Amino acid sequence: MAETNRPHLVLMHPPSVFDFRERPLNHWMITNGVDTSTVYEYYPVGFIAILDHLEERGRTVRLANMAVKMQDRRFDPRRFVREHEPLLFGIDLHWAQHADGALSLAKVCKEEHPDIPVVLGGISSTYFWKEVIQNPDIDFVLRGETTEEPLAQLLDCLEEQRQPIDVTNLIWKRSGAIIDNEYTHPPKLLTTRINYERLFAH
């Protein structure tokens, strides 16, 4: 495995429906007020904040907009996942219409790399964490509007091979039991710094 394919985190934005290339899309949750297609290509702005926060702390992050990449029928999402072996796969379930895409992508991650954990985050994950964490393909759910620091803490735990008992806002599993680390890291001020130079490098 090439070193360039060993980032600490592979952060992926799924399409609204994972197999949209094979079957018609359901348009019912897409409004005319959002300038995007039914694949819903926009990833949440929190991706940029996470990228900046982690790379400033020496972490390597691969940001992949799968919703855009998969519009090219030559792109194989399973091969993309197979070729990466990070400490952690991260998937956003921010908008509710991504439920199918996010959970299906998590399943692909587990099928290709059963031992690499998968974390979901975003507003929908925050509201529906009890349902999301029941999915056998999901190892962690990070709740909240901003998850940069909790995600950095989680990566530290994974690298040091210790249980994430002190990672704030985290839902996780231990021997089949669901552990709630409690929501104790709400942002004092919701701001997002956009480092375009770092973003365009990806």
Q: How far is 5 from 79, CA to CA, in rounded Å? A: 12
Burial of 53 (0-12, 13-18, 19+ CB in 10 A): buried
Q: How far is 66 from 76, CA to CA, in rounded Å? A: 10
Contact of 21 with 72, CB cutoff 8 Å: no
Listed in sequence order, the residues at least 6 apart from 146 whose beta carbon sits closer than 8 Å to its beta carbon are 46, 49, 187, 190
Six-digit token pair at 5? 């394919």
Name residue 173's beta-bridge partners: 178
For residue 158, the Cα-to-chain-centroid distance in whole angstroms is: 16
pLDDT in tens, the chain (202 residues): 444 458 999 999 999 889 988 876 655 555 555 566 777 787 888 888 899 889 999 999 999 999 999 999 999 999 999 999 999 999 999 888 889 999 999 999 999 999 999 999 999 999 999 999 999 999 999 999 889 999 999 999 999 999 999 999 999 999 989 999 988 877 665 555 666 565 555 5
**pTM here?**
0.88
Q: How far is 67 from 16, CA to CA, in rounded Å? A: 8
